[in-house]
Structure 1
Amino acid sequence: MEGLLLELECPVCTEYMLPPITLCHNGHSICNSCKSEMHSCPTCMGEFTDIRNISLENICRIVKFPCKYKQNGCLEILPLDIILRHESECSHAVYTCPFLIASLECSWRGFVSDMEDHIKSKHNEFSDARHVLGIHKARLPKFGTSSAWCQALFTMNEVFFRISKVIGDFLYCCVLYVGAKDKAPAYTYKLTINNNEGRGSVCACHQTVGYQSDIEEIIRKGNCAVFHCEFANTCINEDGELVLEEEIFSAAAS
């Protein structure tokens, strides 16, 4: 079986080639990711074709693949369709610190299971260590003078990361799921701001997105909670904070 897996290794990146696998004019193959970045075959410099390498594709369907996080300790060896699903949620996947998104320097890399300890020890001023379901009060200090805030939140045995930004006349708030991006749509967040004088409230609901997402694009498209600053300014408390009532819940629980 190991010999067959060697036949599937891309000669450029050494990752396994997966269907569709195409050939160059001289019969060589590379993975689709590498092919999209190259103008000619790295083995013979010949031109690529659209002819499929049926033999290698058939091998893909009969062999079992080790998890790509094998070097991190994962021992799973599974058929193609199952290994891809497994890798999307493998507990041995390595992630970067979410505070990099907020332009805070941090070189930490590790498992999601270790991320809470890291955040509490290195970024404790931005984290909320409570493990409860229900409404959580998120505070944006110095609202009106500051323009960006971030906070990690731990709930339902998961890690979430909220980024809030004032751009122009609007406050944008986006809650990110820290983990396999395929799991992000399983969670929804609800943010509510209340007027201090009892003049009403405004709330917004959105699905969480993977923390690997392009935040600027999400904000540009308005695919997050959006509040008008004119109303938000009427909700600032005596400490200069804008308090958001925040709730994160899973689709299974809703």
Structure 2
Amino acid sequence: MAPGGIINKEEIESRIAYLDHDTGHPATSNAELRGSPFRKAATPSTGNPGKQSTSNMQDLLDCPVCFTIMYPPIFQCPNGHTLCSHCRARVKNSCPICRGELGNIRCLALEKIAESIELPCKYQSMGCCDIFPYYSKPKHEKNCKYRPYNCPYAGAECSVTGDIPLLVKHLRNEHKVDMHDGCTFNHRYVKSDPREIDNATWMLTVFNCFGRQFCLHFETFHLGMSPVYMAFLRFMGTEDEAREFSYSLEVGGNGRKLTWQGVPRSIRDSHQKVRDSQDGLIIQRNLALFFSGGERQELKLKVSGRIWKEQ
């Protein structure tokens, strides 16, 4: 260790390597955190006039292993080395700094100090100008409107994140998603072998409506033991913004009709979460084949819909 107890870069790197080697976790996440623009704000925030974060205190609260801010419970070894609860669970009761036995000691003094400081939102570099009391910061960041969105193209398990304009461009250029203008739509889904549930592909279409973007999903899966088709809408924006809109879906044939009306879900909710909640138009396979007509050998579903803005 360097004089005065200061940890130099080489020591930190060796500790991370030791930690990841010892626990079997890859070092990628640590490297990403060190290079992330969200690790620490570069300049004081102006979102709360007259108040600034205390950078020295913030340094004390940085976990020396993962380099993120520690929140209670904060742990320390008998020699006083602190680390966050996440890293403590990874090091198998061995302090990654002095290699001593970690034990179950809480650093209550540091937790108490944390109550007196304020910190900028970690999305400051993306436009958030506010700072928050230490214990309020995580709650804000979970709902911060500047928090990046995940790509809604769940079929590829895409890891791209960004703001809405970036994701729209990404969907169009990388995923080749169909883009349509207008608040009404008619889509026809055809499948030659409707009994292939497990290998069925799902579809995504993006609509530009009221100057915003909406994702129409259509897919097939098993609901319990029953094969079903499902259509639902997600809004490319926050949950509060999504509640400003409503939509309806309709499917039918042979003189029958099935309708659904609801509020689009924000893409903050994952594709899987919305699907599992069954928050959309669900069509049993037998009914879908009845709508398709013929000898029920081919799926031919026409789904129409409308999006409107609530007053």
TM-score between the two structures when normalised by the length of structure 2: 0.60
User: Aligned partners of 2:117 and 2:211: how far apart in 1?
Assistant: 35
Q: Residue 179 of structure 1: CA displacement? A: 5.1
Tell me if structure 1 keeps the 8 A contact 2:219–2:231. yes
Q: Residue 46 of structure 1: CA displacement? A: 3.4
Q: Residue 83 of structure 1: CA displacement? A: 3.2
Regions of 4+ moved over 6 Å: none
Residue 197 of structure 2 is matched in structure 1 by none
Residue 2 of structure 1 is matched in structure 2 by 55
Q: Residue 154 of structure 1: CA displacement? A: 4.5
Residue 229 of structure 1 is matched in structure 2 by 285
Q: Residue 127 of structure 1: CA displacement? A: 2.8
Residue 56 of structure 1 is matched in structure 2 by 110
Residue 155 of structure 2 is matched in structure 1 by 102
SS of alignment partner, residue 142 of structure 1: strand
Residue 124 of structure 2 is matched in structure 1 by 70
Residue 196 of structure 1 is matched in structure 2 by 253
Q: Which has the larger radius of gyration?
A: 2
Q: Residue 13 of structure 1: CA displacement? A: 1.5
Residue 139 of structure 1 is matched in structure 2 by 187
SS of alignment partner, residue 171 of structure 1: strand
Identical columns (%): 21
Task: Give RMSD over aligned pairs.
Answer: 3.9
Say if 1:107 and 1:55 are closer, same or farther in 2 by CA, change over 3 A.
Answer: closer
Q: Residue 192 of structure 1: CA displacement? A: 3.6
User: Aligned partners of 1:197 and 1:5: how far apart in 2?
Assistant: 67
**Greater displacement, 31-40 / 115-124:** 115-124
User: Aligned partners of 1:161 and 1:213: how far apart in 2?
Assistant: 12
User: Aligned partners of 1:230 and 1:115: how far apart in 2?
Assistant: 36
User: Aligned partners of 2:91 and 2:188: how far apart in 1?
Assistant: 47
Q: Residue 65 of structure 1: CA displacement? A: 0.9
Q: Residue 124 of structure 1: CA displacement? A: 6.0
User: Aligned partners of 2:113 and 2:190: how far apart in 1?
Assistant: 60
Aligned positions of 1:49-198 closer than 5 A = 49-99=103-153, 101-103=154-156, 109-120=161-172, 125-130=177-182, 132=183, 136-137=184-185, 139-145=187-193, 147-155=201-209, 159-167=213-221, 169-178=227-236, 192-198=249-255
SS of alignment partner, residue 167 of structure 1: strand
SS of alignment partner, residue 68 of structure 1: coil
Q: Residue 44 of structure 1: CA displacement? A: 2.4
Tell me if structure 2 keeps the 8 A contact 1:66–1:77. yes
Q: Deviations over 1:149-189 (max 9, x none)?
A: 12234456654434322235311335445456x76995887
TM-score between the two structures when normalised by the length of structure 1: 0.71
**Greater displacement, 67-76 / 3-12:** 67-76
**Among 70, 73, 83, which residue is 1:20 paired with?**
73
SS of alignment partner, residue 165 of structure 1: strand
User: Aligned partners of 1:237 and 1:153: how far apart in 2?
Assistant: 29
Tell me if structure 2 keeps the 8 A contact 1:191–1:203. yes
Tell me if structure 2 keeps the 8 A contact 1:139–1:241. no
Residue 35 of structure 1 is matched in structure 2 by 88
Q: Residue 202 of structure 1: CA displacement? A: 4.5
Say if 1:102 and 1:244 are closer, same or farther in 2 by CA, change over 3 A.
Answer: same
Residue 15 of structure 2 is matched in structure 1 by none
Q: Residue 8 of structure 1: CA displacement? A: 0.3
Say if 1:177 and 1:26 are closer, same or farther in 2 by CA, change over 3 A.
Answer: farther
Q: Residue 102 of structure 1: CA displacement? A: 1.7
Unaligned runs of at least 5 residues, structure 1: none
2:278 partner amino acid: N
